[in-house]
Amino acid sequence: MHKFANPAQFTKIASRVLPWTSSFAAVCSLFGLYFGIFDSPADYQQGETVRIMYVHVPAAWMSLFIYSLMAAASASFLIWKHSLADIAARSLAPIGAAFTAITLITGALWGQPMWGTWWVWDARLTSVLVLFFLYLGYMALVNAFDDPEKGSKAAAGLALIGFVNVPIIKFSVDWWNTLHQPASLSRLDAPAIDISMLTPLLLMALGFKLLLISILIIKMRTILIEKRIEAKQLLKSG
Amino acid sequence: MDMYEQFIWSAYGATAILLVTLLAYSLFRYRIAQRQLDELVKNNREQGEKTSKVEKNS
């Protein structure tokens, strides 16, 4: 693992991986959208609004997954001082914030026709809102210091403390009495969802995951280039 | 689709807008950074050639 944690090795692997991840992300998302919008049946209770699930649920999974990755990268940065881990965490934050925003927006758009309200202060919704603020807090903190090292350390600390919120979000529907429904897909071998609905859901989840890898690679390469520019300018001036 | 069509399309639309914006912005920043690096490398090379010419002449 440590062998791959150097910028040159990363750039080499990333340039090979990027065309594949971006192409498969587009293919999976297009198939997911087709099956989700046109092919899957309407729900017997929720009717057509169930189609919001195909973007809301994968986006919610992504928001938790990205935060977990960000916390792992932050831990790796604090323990082993890997600069690439810090770059990964910095790049993951805006992507995670975007997916959390999608979760909140699509959730509100699903909540209005189903619950009769855009928002309720129940445990699941509130903890996801806290997750969104954690992402924003990370992005603000990482750029808040003149010394980038200090900013990275402070933000990594916040990411690790904020990780407490991840299991709270996951189990909030079991621990508290919430308006939000419990998990339908806790086990893939016995999901409480029909295969015709499971297929677009998993395709969209795969599409989002591949999109995450693609955007992450682009963002990390951008930061690496910016660091090279900074180093060259410093060398030139001094 | 039924009377709730607007909610469904709004959800898909919001998702598409956010993800496409994120991807486009990331690509835009990457292109700018790459261009800046190329220019810097080019300037350094030109300056290096000038310096070596001056050294040779002197």
pLDDT confidence of residue A189:
60
**Cα distance from A67 to chain B (closest Cα, Å)?**
17
Tens digits of residue pLDDT in A52-82: 999 999 999 999 999 999 999 999 999 998 8
- Mean pLDDT of all residues in chain A? 91
pLDDT confidence of residue A4:
62
Question: Taking chain A (238 residues) in consecutive chunks of 10 residues, what is each chunk's mean pLDDT?
Answer: 74 93 96 92 86 95 97 96 94 97 96 92 95 97 92 96 96 87 67 86 96 97 94 81
Which residue in A33, A43, A46, A51 has the most chain B C-beta atoms within 10 A of its own C-beta, making it the best mutation to test that interface? Answer: A51
**Cα distance from A126 to chain B (closest Cα, Å)?**
20
CA dist B41 → B35, B37, B48, B55 (Å):
10, 6, 10, 21
Could you tell me which chain B residue has the CA closest to the CA of A112?
A: B7
In this complex, the residue of B8, B10, B26 whose CB is nearest that of residue A215 is B26
CB A105 to CB B11 under 8 A? yes
CB B5 to CB A48 under 8 A? yes
**Cα distance from B13 to chain A (closest Cα, Å)?**
10
* C-alpha to C-alpha distance for B27 and A218, rounded to whole angstroms: 7
Query: Taking phi first (over 0 means left), then psi (-120 to 50 degrees means alpha), and beta for anything else, what does residue A6 get?
Result: beta
Give contacts of A204 with chain B, Cβ < 8 Å: none
CB A211 to CB B19 under 8 A? yes
In this complex, the residue of B8, B18, B26 whose CB is nearest that of residue A219 is B26
CB B30 to CB A222 under 8 A? yes
Tokens (6 digits) for A64: 């938790």
Q: What is the pTM (predicted TM-score) of this model?
A: 0.92
C-beta of residue B9 within 8 angstroms of C-beta of residue A97: no
Q: Which residue has the tokens 């992402």?
A: A135
Question: Taking chain B (58 residues) in consecutive chunks of 10 residues, what is each chunk's mean pLDDT?
Answer: 82 96 96 94 83 72
CB B33 to CB A222 under 8 A? yes
CB B4 to CB A113 under 8 A? yes
| ipTM reported for the complex, 2 dp | 0.89
Task: Count Cβ atoms below 10 Å from residue B27 Cβ, excluding itself.
Answer: 15
Domains of chain A: 17-181+195-237 (1.20.120)
**Cα distance from B22 to chain A (closest Cα, Å)?**
7
In 3-state terms, what secondary structure has residue A184? coil
